[in-house]
Amino acid sequence: MPKTVLITGANRGVGLELLKQIYGFGFRCVGGYRDPDRAAELLRMQADDPERVIALPCDVSSAESLQSMAAALEPRVDSVDILINNAGVLYRDEKSGETLQRAELQNSLDVNLIGPILTTQTFLPFLRRGTLKKLVFISSIMGSIDLNNSGSLPSYRISKAALNQFCRGMAFELASEGIVTLAIHPGWARTDMGGPQATLAVAESAGGIIEVMRQAAVDTHNGRFFDYAGRELEW
Ligand SMILES: NC(=O)c1ccc[n+]([C@@H]2O[C@H](COP(=O)([O-])OP(=O)(O)OC[C@H]3O[C@@H](n4cnc5c(N)ncnc54)[C@H](OP(=O)(O)O)[C@@H]3O)[C@@H](O)[C@H]2O)c1
């Protein structure tokens, strides 16, 4: 039986590239998407290889959606080896803490913080039954308090900083079960979020993330924050 990875936000950007590369390593890949009209490539992969690509509707901000995904998965997949909390949102026009809008802060928290919390809670039983036992949060260097030297994009920074705190806490909760929990910054990658000026091709970002995940072990990586190149970041 192949190892299984579950990735949220797997229809485009870093999530889709992670899924494609991990599929190439022989894994069974479960990918969440919200809108089939934005998930053509993921759905095509599923049509080509339904045994190893399972695409399921998943809005991480909705507990009902996550429960439906888990219910759909249950009869087909016994365990998840790597759970990658990847889905995220960024309001790029947000300029300052003084002017940030409540609705944007709320949605940033719903997707970037509460989403990964609910996803982790929903799929922990699957992860516990897996063998690799890796719990990954795709965070951002912008969530680092130590490394923040600008006021821009406060909703995003706040949501990722809080996500980092959840990650760190879960690392302590789960280590005794052999689950390694870590946060990874994908670098500045050319996706819809990263934009065309970003310095990294998405393939390089995803390839680096996969290498960090491959090396991740409780003794060396648990409760820590790395970038896609394996460099440790300050919280
Ligand atoms: N790109 C960068 O330079 C960069 C840098 C640092 C960190 N990151 C982080 O890397 C992760 C991936 O970013 P990306 O660059 O690939 O962004 P992206 O191209 O904008 O893709 C975002 C993904 O998240 C999904 N998503 C958004 N809201 C969702 C929700 N409520 N439920 C489920 N899925 C949802 C999107 O699905 P839809 O198509 O349905 O919207 C899409 O699949 C994010 O966590 C981001 O914060 C990216």
Q: Is residue 169 in some structural domain?
A: yes
Q: Is residue 233 in some structural domain?
A: no
Domain limits for position 114: 4-227
Nearest protein CA to atom 45 of ligand 1, as residue: 88
Collect all residues with Cβ–Cβ distance below 8 Å to 90 and sequence separation of at least 6. 108, 153, 156, 193
What single-letter amino acid sits at 65? S
| Closest ligand 1 atom to 17 CA | 16
Alpha carbon dihedral 130, 39, 157, 127, in 10-degree steps, equals -10
- Residue 222, classed as helix, strand or coil, is coil
Q: Is residue 86 in some structural domain?
A: yes
CA distances from 92 to 14, 136, 224 (A): 18, 24, 27
Q: Is residue 232 in some structural domain?
A: no
pLDDT digit string (tens) for the chain, length 235 residues? 899 999 999 999 999 999 999 999 999 999 999 999 999 999 999 999 999 999 999 999 999 999 999 999 999 999 999 999 999 999 999 989 999 999 999 999 999 999 999 999 999 999 999 999 999 999 999 999 999 988 899 999 999 999 999 999 999 999 999 999 999 999 999 999 999 999 999 999 999 999 999 999 999 999 999 999 999 999 9
**Quick one: which H or E segment has residue 85?**
strand 82-85
Nearest protein CA to atom 33 of ligand 1, as residue: 59
CATH number (domain holding residue 16): 3.40.50.720
Q: Is residue 212 in some structural domain?
A: yes
List the structure tokens of 214: 């491959």
Q: Is residue 129 in some structural domain?
A: yes
Provide the 8-state DSSP code for 40.
H
Ligand 1 residue neighbourhood (C-beta within 6 Å): 8-9, 11-15, 32, 34-35, 38, 58-61, 86-89, 111, 115, 138, 140, 185-186, 188-189, 191-194, 198
From 12, 106, 118, the mutation candidate for ligand 1 (largest count of ligand atoms within 8 A of CB) is 12
